Structure 1
Amino acid sequence: MIEAVKLWNEPNNKSHWDFEVDEGWRMFANMAKLAGEAVKAERPDMTRVLGGMSPIDAGFIRNLEGQGVLDHVDVVAIHGFPLDWNHWQLDEWPTRYREIQSIVKHPVWITEVGVSTFGAEEVQEFGLRRSAELLLDLAPRVHWYSLYDLPKAWPATTRHREAEGSSYYRHFYMGLIREDGTPKKALRHFADYTPKMGICQWFHFEDHRLDDAVSWLKKLGVRKLRTGLSWADSFRPNADAWFDRQMMALEDFDVTLTFCFTPEHRGHKPHHTSPPLQAEEFADFCARMVRRYA
């Protein structure tokens, strides 16, 4: 069921890692190395993926390589959203991909690519088709983000929220399916690209969309699914019961499982982006989840 584990998410994006606390990513590098070692000790053949870069930054990868992180992962991942957030054009995707491919010996996966319907559904429809044309023969793994729109009652995982203007609200329109469960225009094309194209869909704690998501993923012919288990959620009551339910529901897919989010009481700051006080605790969480679900 689990074909890969991913160590954190977008560590060079301040919405996911506080690199003002961790100048130079020294604490992140130590944490990633410990987690990579812990996963390998549990499952020597498990593919370990370095949390996807966003923005795509060769300097960031060279920094982590210099700190020895790439010796403890098997894949480097990147994320890109040129029609919504990045300062480059959609047709530049191959150039951005090859820039990273040229400086690492690892395979490079694209674990998030997507287009919002903030302005018009036709933009996403075009973006899906053009992204597939550009990427499916370029990268060994491509995950579309995402299946569902983010419910408007939930906060988006970002640092400035409403101060970001339209950039914040685009987070709520990334799905192929609206919050009410009705399909958008791009959904009718997605099955044209499966199973080669996967999906990235995050599930919140006790997410009400889980069973419907499984039905849609099977209907669309999806085989490769990226999702996550939150270290912070592991401290909630009944956390293991929810994790068990989520992973049982996803047992028919080839899952890339992301581990991230610092518990507030275990960080240098009380925030999910904070470097942990003890990096070994994150490594222990990764090992326990691999032991339980792999």
Structure 2
Amino acid sequence: MIEAAMIWNEPNNKSHWDPEIDPDWRLFAEMAVAAGQAIRAAHPTLPRVLGGISPIDPAFIRNMESRGVLDQVDVVAVHGFPLDWNLWQIGEWPAKIEEIRAVTSLPVWVSEVGVSSFGAEEVQAWGVERTAELLVGKAPRIHWYSLYDLPRAWEATTRHREAEGSSYYRHFYMGLLREDGSPKPALDAFARHAPALGLCQWFHFEDHRLDEAVAWMRRLGVRHLRTGLSWADSFRPNALAWFDRQMEALAEFDVTVTFCFTPEHRGIAPHHSSPPQVKEEFAAFCADMIRRYAGTGTVRAAGG
């Protein structure tokens, strides 16, 4: 059911980790080491992936190596959106991967890559084709972000919000499917490159799109999926029932599950991007989820 466990998401992006509290990433490194050890204790062979970095920064990987993090993971990962947010061109993708390979011998996954349809849906379709041309065969895993547009009634997970100007609104146009579930031209382009291209799709708590997403992934021939189980959501009523439903629905895919999001009441600051007060609590959550879902292909009853 779980192909790999990813420790956090974009730890070098202030939308996901607070640099004011942890400017040198010492606290993140200590948490990641604890999580990596806990995952290994729960499962002796499951690959552990350092949360995909954004921006792609070799200095961050060197920092993690110096703090012992790379000894507790088996893969590093990168995220890139050169047509929307990055200050580099799409043709630089192979060079960006090589920048990371130059500082670590670990495999490098592309756990998020995408192009928005904010400017034009035809640009997004071209972006799928060009991304596949540049990356297929260059990285062991490529997860396209994402299957669905983010519903406009929700908020994008970013610290910047509307202060980003048009950059903020691009978050809502990353899907191959529009919010209403209708396909964009990019869907056909993606289908031509599946299963070499996988998907990254975050499911919100009790997400109404789950079953339809599974149907679309079957239709597209997707094999590899990246999604998340939120530590913060684990404190909601009926959290395990939702986690069980989500993971059982996704059981036929090779899932990289991302563990992230600090519960407000367990953070140094009351925010999902805060380092936790007690790093072992996050590590225990990772281990619990691995024991519950990894390797069996079945789920226990909620509360079991």
TM-score range, shorter chain: over 0.9
Could you tell me how far 1:189 is from its partner in structure 2?
A: 1.7
2:247 corresponds to which residue?
Answer: 247
Superposition map of 1:49-88 within 5 A: 49-88=49-88
- Whole-angstrom CA distance in 1 between matches of 2:160 and 2:93: 27
Equivalent residues in 2 for 1:1-294, closer than 5 Å = 1-294=1-294
Residue identity in the other structure for 2:7: L
Once the two structures are TM-superposed, the CA of residue 28 in structure 1 deviates from its matched residue by: 0.3
Query: How much does 1:259 deviate?
Result: 0.2
Once the two structures are superposed, residues 243-265 of structure 1 have per-residue CA deviations (whole angstroms, 9 ceiling, x without a partner) of: 00000000000000000000000
Q: CA RMSD in A?
A: 0.5
Aligned residues: 294
Query: Displaced runs of 4+ in structure 1, greater than 2 A?
Result: none
Which residue number corresponds to residue 298 of structure 2?
none
Q: Deviations over 1:10-61 (max 9, x none)?
A: 0000000001101200000000000000000010100000000000001111
Long gaps (5+) in structure 1: none
- Aligned equivalents of 1:215, 1:151: Cα separation in 2: 19
Greater Cα offset, 188-197 or 77-86:
188-197
| Pairwise CA distance, 1:85 | 0.1
Counterparts of 1:239 and 1:192 in 2: how far apart (Å)?
36
- Compute the displacement of 1:194 (Å): 1.1
State the SS of the aligned residue for 1:23. Answer: coil
Q: Hey, what's the Cα distance between the residues in 1 that align with 2:189 and 2:39?
A: 37
Task: Name stretches of at least 5 consecutive residues in structure 2 with no aligned partner.
Answer: 295-304
TM-score normalised by structure 2 residue count: 0.96
Q: Which whole-Å deviations, capped at 9, do the CAs of 1:151-171 have from their partners, x for residues lacking one?
A: 000000001101110010000
* CA–CA separation in structure 1 for the residues paired with 2:104 and 2:7: 17
Q: Which amino acid aligns with 2:190?
A: F
* Offset of residue 195 of structure 1: 1.1
Distance 1:96 1:288 in 2: 35
The 2-side partners of 1:11 and 1:160 are apart by 16
CA–CA separation in structure 2 for the residues paired with 1:75 and 1:182: 35
TM value normalised by structure 1: 0.99
Supply the distance in 2 between the matched residues of 1:23 and 1:267 (Cα, whole angstroms). Answer: 16
Shift of 1:135: 0.1
